[in-house]
Amino acid sequence: MSQLFSPATLRGLTLRNRTVVAPMCQYSARDGLANDWHLVHLGRFAIGGFGAVILEATGVTPEGRISYADLGLWKDEQIAPLARIVDFLHSQGAAAGIQLAHAGRKASSPVPWRNGFTETEAEKAQIGFEHWIPVAPSAIAHSSNPNYQTPTALDAAGIKGVIDAFVAAAIRADQAGFDIVEVHAAHGYLLNQFLSPLANKRTDDYGGSRENRMRLPLEVTKAVRAVWPAHKPLFVRLSVTDWHPDGWQIEDSIVLARELKALGADAIDASTGGFDGASVPVGPNYQVPCARAVREGADIPTIAVGLLGAPEEAEAIITNGDADFIALARGALDDPNWPLHTRLAVGDNDYSLWPVQTNRVRERHRSLKQHGFSAP
């Protein structure tokens, strides 16, 4: 049997297979509220056979959103639209996860496809445009790009407010029925900013040494784990390396992952990068060695992500022990039925993952003598 399509259990949750949809910002919300786009966009991945579907970076505060069009979970009114999505994912056999996030100094940035703040006054009223000054560990802009502002450095009260916001969002995520929460500490966003010496120039207990720079991500994880039900898994997404000689390194992530495991984290979603000036060796499977390094160094399950998708290679990542799960983002957009197609491609000709409404596909393969069928 394919190892990629074997079940996996984390705490009280058993995933039907080891395929995951990674969080993908859709920039399609207003006032942080999920809508029909999010339902259909996410629902098709559950229909397509993924084991878990993790919703996009969801702001724990309004000012923690990457843009005004991001999802949020800072108020109770945002629970019901998310619960509708969770219910559909469950109805199709997929686990539902949500990534809780704060963008820090990368907040209040433009919707990507606009290439800047091009909204007209009429559009602003229609789409719920908002613009604000972001917060960060230090008052240093992400880059010289004018789309990024100089943030306000968080004081002690602001840091406590961030922790409290993650806690409140986790409670709401449980009320919405999510199976998994993922704390976002990657891609140059707030918690990653505290970790990296590229962004964190503080001189208090949250800056300077690696121990101090890890303090806020650890405090957030501990606080979220305390309110997140014991039978539900908690993931943490890390940029395992900044790909910058003066930044966060793989060895740092191994140390952090050990601490996160001790606090009750169940898996590390192993991504990379997020800071200006990085030199990223982009290519197929380029982040898989990072997932393996953390898995071996911290003895914790990992999720491999980053330009994955070749069926045999995905299977090998699991069987070789590089990671415990395979996550797709752009690959899932390209083929929402990737698990269904991949299962056949690796020779596991079991159609039980296909929804009953799609039985005609099996009959098509039979007629064409494909995937193990020898006669029409």
Which residues are known catalytic residues?
189
Q: Cβ of 156: how many Cβ atoms within 10 Å?
A: 10
207 Cβ contact partners less than 8 Å away, ≥ 6 residues apart: 137, 138, 194, 200, 201, 213
Measured distance CA(315)–CA(338) in Å, rounded: 13
∠ at Cα 331 (355, 340), nearest 5°? 25
Which of 87, 97, 85, 94 has the alpha carbon at shortest distance from 17? 94
Helical packing angle, 250-262 and 215-227, nearest 10°: 30
The rounded Cα 42 to chain-centroid distance in angstroms is 13
Measured distance CA(71)–CA(55) in Å, rounded: 9
The H or E element spanning position 19 is strand 19-21
What tokens appear for 102 in the block? Answer: 């704060």
Query: Do 190 and 64 form a contact (C-beta atoms < 8 A)?
Result: yes
What tokens appear for 180 in the block? Answer: 């998994």
Query: Do 99 and 51 form a contact (C-beta atoms < 8 A)?
Result: no
Which of 143, 139, 60 has the alpha carbon at shortest distance from 103? 60
10 Cβ contact partners less than 8 Å away, ≥ 6 residues apart: 233, 266, 267, 301
CA atoms within 13 A on the CB side of 66: 20
